[in-house]
Amino acid sequence: MTHSLLISWSHKNEIGIPIIDEQHRGIVSLINSFGFSIQNGQQTEFYLNTIFTMIDGYTKLHFATEEEFFRLAEYDEAEKHKELHTALIRQSFAIASESIRLRDPNIYLQFLKKWWVTHISNCDPLYAATVKKYLAL
């Protein structure tokens, strides 16, 4: 049984907003669980549908949390960031559907890894200072 993680979480991934950091860790945990299952041969259609439903739901919850902070903190780039969220939801659905149709879970897994690592590292730090100032962190 393979035990390697697809994404290693570190404090460098944190943006300093506790609930956002916790949700990011949760999403990374789901992606790592998905990768672990693939490494160990659990590639059923049921599993793909289940992991997609879990990631989709948790991602939407996370985006709603971020977007509420944008509103409360009057973040200037809120609309631009929300557009990224909308695009991810659409793209994630399309890629998950393709992955299920082709019975190749790696298509969805690689998309998730690339998108989340990029988004968490490059996009989310852009709003952190504004939200942390609002929250007095």
Q: What was the pLDDT predicted at 117?
A: 82
Neighbours of 89 (CB within 10 A): 14
Q: What angle do CA 29, 32, 36 make, to 5 degrees?
A: 135
Q: 75 with 120: CB under 8 angstroms? A: no
Alpha-carbon torsion (42, 92, 122, 114), positive or negative: positive
Tokens of 37: 């299952």
Amino acid at 61: L
Q: What is the largest CA-CA distance in the chain?
A: 48
Q: What was the pLDDT predicted at 44?
A: 67
Q: 31 with 116: CB under 8 angstroms? A: yes
pTM of the model: 0.90
Amino acid at 118: T
Residues of the chain with pLDDT under 70: 1-2, 43-44
